[in-house]
Amino acid sequence: MPIEIVYTGSGKSVITDNPTGGDSLPSGGVGDSIPMKTIRNTANPQIVGFVPLTLSTAEECRSYDECCYNLQVFNTVKDVNSFLMELPLGSTCTIYLQEYTTSWATIATLNNVTYGKFYNFGDSPFTLANYIGFRIDWSAVYNVFGEGKYRIQFATIVLKQNKLYNSEPFCLNTYSCEAVNKTVLFTNYLQGRIGSCDNEAKLFNMYDSDWTDSIRFKGIFGYETTEYERINIEYETGAIVKVRDEAVQKFQLKTGRLPKWLHDRFKTYGLMADKLYVTDYNKNNSDYNISMKRVVADGGYAPDYKRGRLSRVTVDFKEGIQNVIKSLC
């Protein structure tokens, strides 16, 4: 009979061997408005991040050449990646930085501020939640280890079972205008509630955490156009008086070929974020001023599935702060 840990609104926990089907209940952290929530005895890896954590024993029956999508990162302050895992009560977890040469090897334990920011169980902003995570600063990794292929590993013990969760591989390179050419970088900030892109029954509450993450991939952001919203008054004499004009600047993102997991996480934790910023690094982009520009999605998300398991997508955006106006008031 499976064991279930139930957290009540008073902060006390009850262990029962008769679960009541809590899959539809939201999980989250301190301050949840729902008086009772259920955390089942399994881990929820990478609950709101752009880059997934995959169980090391997960089987992949489909063999293909594109199995390993290497994420590009550089030694810049903008290249950071955040990882956050939810674990049942009584679990343990150690987070490692690993490098690949001839095989994956651990080179550092991520439990302090040396390579970013460590979020231990009970740390703010997840005071009472069973969350543990790390925000990796790739410039700090570069300063110690230099260029290379790296990944993040979460080593957990849940109900006396040892499990390893690995991130996708990151290719860390030296920043240069040529190296970052043809890439775009998105940075998000998340608050409030957001659903899991992996499990439709999961809802995570980020409260006032202002959780942030970033993702870099091949693509171009630009193609700016402007639409006008106008309010005029026309008098009987035929005279037209302008009351208000607003210029709405719109953009397009055209990506390179991306894996399905990146599409799923970007359209959920990126396009649905409270705040989303974009930086474009294309040398041939007509707009050289797209750096940490706040934007919001302005349409659907429809990848073009034509060849293999990687696909491109074109997404419409508009200014996140629309302040190009002319008003009589």
* Domain 42-55+62-180 and domain 212-329 have a common topology: no
Cα 318 to its chain centre, rounded Å, is 20
From the CB of residue 227, how many other CB atoms can be counted at a distance below 10 Å? 10
Q: Where are the domains of the chain?
A: 1-41, 42-55+62-180, 212-329
Q: How far is CA 69 from CA 55, 258, 309, 315, in A?
A: 16, 8, 11, 21
Cα 112 to its chain centre, rounded Å, is 22
Q: Which amino acid is at 275?
A: K
Q: What is the DSSP letter of 191?
A: -
- The architecture of the domain spanning 212-329 is Beta Barrel (2.40)
Task: Output the pLDDT for position 276.
Answer: 97
- The architecture of the domain spanning 42-55+62-180 is Sandwich (2.60)
Q: pLDDT in tens for each of the 329 residues of the chain? A: 443 333 333 333 333 333 333 333 333 333 333 222 334 457 788 989 999 999 988 766 654 444 568 899 999 999 999 999 989 888 999 999 999 999 999 999 999 999 999 999 888 777 667 889 999 999 999 999 999 999 999 999 998 899 999 999 999 999 999 999 999 999 999 988 888 888 888 888 777 677 999 999 999 999 999 887 777 787 878 787 777 777 789 999 999 999 999 999 999 999 999 999 999 999 999 998 899 999 999 999 999 988 778 999 999 999 988 777 667 76
What the block records as the tokens of 143 is: 């300063």
DSSP string computed for 55-94 = ETT-------TTS--PEEEESSTT-EEEEEEE--TT-EEE
What the block records as the tokens of 72 is: 């590009």
